[in-house]
Amino acid sequence: MNFKQLEIFKTIMDTGSTMAAAAQLGLSQSAISRQLASLEEEIGRELFLRDKGRLIPRPEAHLLVDEVDDVAESVARLRVKVGDVRSGAFGEALIRVAFPHSLATTMLPPILARFKADHPRVTVEILSGPYDAIERMVRGRVADLGFVRLPPEEHSFDARPLFASGTTCVMPAGHPLAAKQAIDVNDLARNDLILLGRQRVNRNELEHELRRMVPTYRCSLEVHSVETACACAAQGLGIAIVPSLIAEFFRSDALAMRPFVPDKIADYGIITMPGAPLSWTAEAFINIIKTNSGEAAL
């Protein structure tokens, strides 16, 4: 017994003849008759009385038709779900993404707008925090994917590189160092510095160089997002040393941004749990991130 046989049986019950059923289903009358005969043979009972070209349903046919209705409704729902899988428009789908605070309010919203235009029925949950917290979210399966600096602190993730970024010094627009084309370590002597959280690898590397070249350097503020670092720099609280690509999101007339030399390159990308395939919609989300990241890097 297959669904085509049940569909033909239901259509005959609705229309009253093989001819009408054939017209409705776009099949030949002989094909309808063969499928019906095959169904009756499988059941072991005639479902219709043949009377001068008419098909008169027997009680057994009426007994089956309600169940066939239920099957037809289930198959119709299944076809909708299959269409959703094909298009990525899951009715109840949820993607959980973790981004650092500075990017959750800048880079992420345009990505979401592109994604939702193609997948309006998918719900996206946005989680945010520092990179180490994002790694914990992905490891604990609180987030399906996370944006971090590469390589991650733990090497047990699947990582997809997106882009590389240099380092920028951010200061008030009228700061004396704004007159320079680039800033080196020696320029930072006798200036208050705004540094990103000490748990970050790049912070440790930077401090090692500062201690070697400028033993008297001053860390005035320690912050945990580029957005906070730039906001504090705008208030004259110090010179912020931050990733260039992220700093660009906070460029304003109140700030001067100068490259830090020699340039310190950092890689960024998406991490996921190994051995846990993402849904097609999550893959589509990552592809949009890649596209946006490429545009931002140009």
Residue 100's pLDDT band, with cuts at 50, 70 and 90, is very high
49 or 206, higher pLDDT: 49
Domains of the chain: residue spans and CATH: 3-87 (1.10.10.10), 94-163+267-297 (3.40.190.10), 167-264 (3.40.190.10)
Question: CA angle, 174 as apex, 170 and 178 as ends, to 5°?
Answer: 50
Residue 84's pLDDT band, with cuts at 50, 70 and 90, is low
Residue 298's pLDDT band, with cuts at 50, 70 and 90, is very low
**How many angstroms separate the Cα of 67 from the Cα of each of 18, 21, 24?**
21, 19, 21
- In tens, the pLDDT along 133-143 reads 999 999 999 99
**How many angstroms separate the Cα of 195 from the Cα of each of 126, 218, 237, 293?**
26, 10, 11, 25
The tokens 């997002």 sit on which residue?
A: 225
pTM for the whole thing? 0.68
- Note the maximum CA span of the chain: 107
Interval 270-288 mean pLDDT: 91
Interval 74-86 mean pLDDT: 73
- In tens, the pLDDT along 194-249 reads 998 766 666 777 787 888 887 778 888 999 889 999 999 999 999 999 999 999 99
| Tokens representing residue 290 in the block | 């890649």
Question: Whole-angstrom Cα distance, residue 207 to residue 199?
Answer: 12
Give the pLDDT of residue 162.
92
